[in-house]
Structure 1
């Protein structure tokens, strides 16, 4: 059973589970501020669930790549959409600042 490390917590999830779903089930959110209420609910259209992920996950979906190629995101920032990312093993997840989580610090 994979473990997600997020904001000082360890969250167990099923292999292949969508990261957004696992976080929400554990009472955590992949969103910042108002985007917690104003988001696309997992359709890969808003980009507000962008997170940095280190660990064993699937490859980005075409919808995810499309959304992360549009402003305010930078396609080279290495972010993933939690709503499209399948957890395949243990992962470390970081939510950056900004409405979309796009403010990656160097």
Structure 2
């Protein structure tokens, strides 16, 4: 298989693979236009066995060794030199958001919806395996940790098109820490429509879009002490999801958001 060298790095790629997509997959450069050759921001210097310049490159006046990475097919061993382009700094606007009153851990109900015996068996084990759970909206999975501590903390994550903004708050809603970082999905397009188009065209791109975002969120949670995340077992009984737990690097108590 061909080897692509970028500085001190070397990656193995399939014959005929798209250079831009391979570099984006490894987080080496971004494809703001989704690899359609429209933005010109994947301009690199290329030497080696590659496909000839495309009509798009000729229209843009790009001549070897300069190439648009998204228009290059790797046909053999190739060397790539990145052309540094200034990146705009990540900016953020912040505001205080009132935290609503937490819901009680226990409540009295007049009627209990019917659930399957299998679900009841699964959820009966929750108290044996984990110490605490916290409900997090829209993540689609359950996480829990063992242990105990004296400080309630929660991490709030807002996944935006360009940036991921996150904040750590205490049980009173006070912000203890906040920061932001670039959304790793930028490598597949600067806008959501471009990313969706690429995901529909290529199943591997779809899977990678999901995986890199999931990995980024998990890293944020893992780096934050005293965190529990996921949907409560009570909610799972209604929604018929199977709970699973994931280890954390510190202790936790239940947090209501």
TM over 0.5: yes
- The yes-or-no answer on 1:54 pairing with 2:41 is no
Q: Which has the larger radius of gyration?
A: 2
Match of residue 83 from structure 1: 70
Show the counterpart of 2:24.
24
**For residues 90 and 63 of structure 1, what CA distance do their matches in structure 2 show?**
24
1:13-68 residue CA offsets vs partner (Å, 9 max, x unmatched): 00000001111222321xxxxxx47x21111111110100010001011012112x
Normalized per residue, the structure richer in strand is: 1
After the TM superposition, which segments of 4 or more aligned residues of structure 1 sit over 2 Å from their partners? 75-78
Distance 1:22 1:93 in 2: 12
More helix by share: 2
Deviation, 1:77, is 6.4
> Following the alignment from structure 2 to structure 1, what is the Cα–Cα distance between the partners of residues 51 and 22?
15
Alpha-carbon distance between aligned partners in 1 of 2:85 and 2:26, rounded to the nearest angstrom: 23
Classify 1:24/1:98 alpha carbon distance in 2 versus 1 (closer, same or farther; 3 Å).
closer
Measure, in 1, the Cα distance between the counterparts of 2:80 and 2:2: 13
C-alpha distance in 2 between matches for 1:76 and 1:58: 13
Match in the other structure for 1:44: 37
**1: CA distance between counterparts of 2:63 and 2:6?**
22
CA distance in 1 between partners of 2:28 and 2:40 (Å) = 17
CA distance in structure 2 between the partners assigned to 1:40 and 1:87 by the alignment: 20
Higher RCO (Cα < 8 Å, 6 or more apart):
1
Which stretches in structure 2 are left out of the alignment for 5+ residues?
87-257
Q: State how 1:87-102 maps to structure 2 within 5 Å.
A: 87-99=74-86
CA-CA distance at 1:93 after TM superposition: 0.1
RMSD value, Cα = 1.8
